Every structure is written in C-alpha cells, then in structure tokens.
Amino acid sequence: MKSFAILLIVGLALTLGCSNDSKDNGPTGTANHAPVIRSITAYPSTISRNETTEIAAIVTDEDSGSVNLEYYWTCRGGQLTDRSGSSARWLASSEPGTYYVALTASDGKAIDTDSVAISVTSIPQNTPPTRPYAPDPPDYSDRQPLSLDLTWGCDDADGDSLEYDVYFGTDSQLESLIFVRRDLTTKLTSVTDLRSTQDYYWKIIVRDGRGAEVTGPVWVFWTQ
C-alpha cells in the first residue's frame, strides 16, 4: 500500500511538472514567430544636403500579418521628420556622407531590425524641366492662318538654360514630318506657306543641358 502511494505522488508530480513546462505563446498555444522586415527602401537613396527622402519598409508577421506590429525608427545624423508605421521621412544632414536609418519591428514578444543607407551629396540634384504647355495656336483650334508663329510654355525649377526641338508634320504620329528644328533657345518658331484646310501636328522636346529631357504632348490645329 505504501508503495502504491509513493507511485501515485510521483505520478502527480510528473504530471504537474509537465503542465508547468508547457508555454502558451500565442492565441492558439503555438510558438510565437518574430516579425520579418522583408525590405526597406529610400527613394531617392541619393539626395543633396538638407533635402528629404521617403523611406518605406515591407514587414510581415507569420502570426498576425502586420496588423498588430509596432515600429521604431532611429537614425544617426539627419532628422526623422515624419514616422507613420512602416514608412518615414528623413531630412538630410548639412554634411555630405553616408547615413543609415534603422527600423525595428516588434510584435510585443520578438523583434526584427534592418536599416537603409542614404547618400548625401554636396551637389544639388537636377530637377527636369516641366512638360511643355500652353501651345499657341491652342490645341484643336481651327481657322488658323497659313503663316504663323508657334509658341509654348516651359519652366525649369533649377533655372537651367533650356533648348527645344520642334517636330512639325501632317499626321498625329509625326511620321510625315515637314521639319524638325533643333536646339532652339527661345519658345517660338515660325511656319509659313501652310496648305489650306489642312491638319497640322506638332510637339516640343525640351532639354536642360544636365541630362534631363522631357517630351511634350502632340498638339493639333487646322488652317483656314
């Protein structure tokens, strides 16, 4: 009888011991999985001093997707001016160099951390010219004279000198070209000896001399 009691006590102790060792790490009693930062990207990744860049991360969590995650952004140098979940905005330092912005994602039990490198240069980034606009004659206008000036608008945020190529023809694809005038420095060119009751199509390509080129829309007018 004493032997049976001893065995019963030992069995209960083992049962309780096993019960205390089991861990409920999730709503279904399964082990918790750490979140994973799949990618973290800065766009653009190269900026000038005192400019800003947008940073976005893709984060997943096997247990809850990305719904219940918390995000912690940090940087050394520069300034995080806006943090919203898995995205942030970073203001560059006034000193050129390579800077790192880090993100830590947490599900309350485990974390993942990653960072992105951002290059800060002392050379301002080039802004392309605007797309040519405000054509004259106006787009789809009719009864235009047989000799006239073509004018348009175009701006450049950097104040760069601009050059224009003018394509002029009688079909919407500008395959039947009457002329191409290149490297104009003014937003004006003249056309003469046009045919009566004819459709004419034209477009502008603008360059800023720093590698940026912008093609304008195709415009049309009809002669009288």
> Which of these ranges, 7-21, 75-89, 198-212, has the smallest mean pLDDT?
7-21
pLDDT tops 50 at residue 21:
no
Predicted TM-score (pTM) of the model is 0.50
Residue 63's pLDDT band, with cuts at 50, 70 and 90, is confident
pLDDT at site 66: 65
- State which of 95, 121, 147 marks the end of a domain: 121
Q: Are residues 117 and 147 in the same domain?
A: no
How many domains does one find in the chain?
A: 2
Count the neighbouring beta carbons within 10 Å of the beta carbon of residue 78.
23
The average confidence (pLDDT) of the chain is 86
27, amino acid identity: P
pLDDT at site 158: 87
| Average pLDDT for 147-164 | 95
| Residue 13 domain flag | no
Percent of the chain past pLDDT 90, that is, above it, reads 68
Q: Which pLDDT tens digit goes with each residue over 95-130?
A: 999 999 999 999 999 999 999 999 999 877 788 999
Q: Are residues 116 and 139 in the same domain?
A: no
Q: Which pLDDT tens digit goes with each residue over 213-222?
A: 999 999 999 9
Q: Are residues 115 and 142 in the same domain?
A: no
pLDDT at site 29: 59
Q: Are residues 77 and 159 in the same domain?
A: no
How far apart (Å, rounded) are the C-alpha atoms in residues 206 and 127? 13
- State which of 71, 101, 121 marks the end of a domain: 121
| Residue 7 domain flag | no
Percent of the chain past pLDDT 70, that is, above it, reads 86
| Residue 22 domain flag | no
Q: Which domain holds residue 154?
A: 133-223
- State which of 121, 151, 170 marks the end of a domain: 121
33, amino acid identity: H
Q: What angle do CA 86, 90, 92 make, to 5 degrees?
A: 160
Residue 147's pLDDT band, with cuts at 50, 70 and 90, is very high
Bin 70: left if φ > 0, else alpha if -120 < ψ < 50, else beta. Answer: beta
Q: Are residues 98 and 152 in the same domain?
A: no
pLDDT at site 28: 54
103: domain CATH number?
2.60.40.10
Residue 27's pLDDT band, with cuts at 50, 70 and 90, is low
pLDDT at site 124: 74
| Residue 18 domain flag | no
Q: Are residues 103 and 172 in the same domain?
A: no
| Residue 12 domain flag | no
Q: Are residues 66 and 114 in the same domain?
A: yes
How far apart (Å, rounded) are the C-alpha atoms in residues 172 and 167? 11
- Judge contact between 115 and 139, C-beta under 8 A: no
| Residue 14 domain flag | no
| Residue 76 domain flag | yes
Q: Are residues 146 and 112 in the same domain?
A: no
Q: Are residues 64 and 138 in the same domain?
A: no
Give the 3-state secondary structure of the chain. Answer: CHHHHHHHHHHHHHHHHHHHHCCCCCCCCCCCCCCEEEEEEEECCEEECCCEEEEEEEEECCCCCCCCCEEEEEECCCEEEEEECCEEEEECCCCCEEEEEEEEEECCCCEEEEEEEEEEECCCCCCCCCCCEEEECCCCEEEECCCEEEEEECCCCCCCCCEEEEEEECCCCCCCEEEEEEEECCCEEEECCCCCCCEEEEEEEEECCCCCEEECCCEEEEEC
Q: Are residues 72 and 111 in the same domain?
A: yes
Paired strand residues for 150: 189
Contacts of 144 (CB under 8 A, 6+ apart): 137, 194, 221, 222, 223, 224
| Residue 50 domain flag | yes
pLDDT tops 70 at residue 19:
no
Q: Are residues 143 and 211 in the same domain?
A: yes
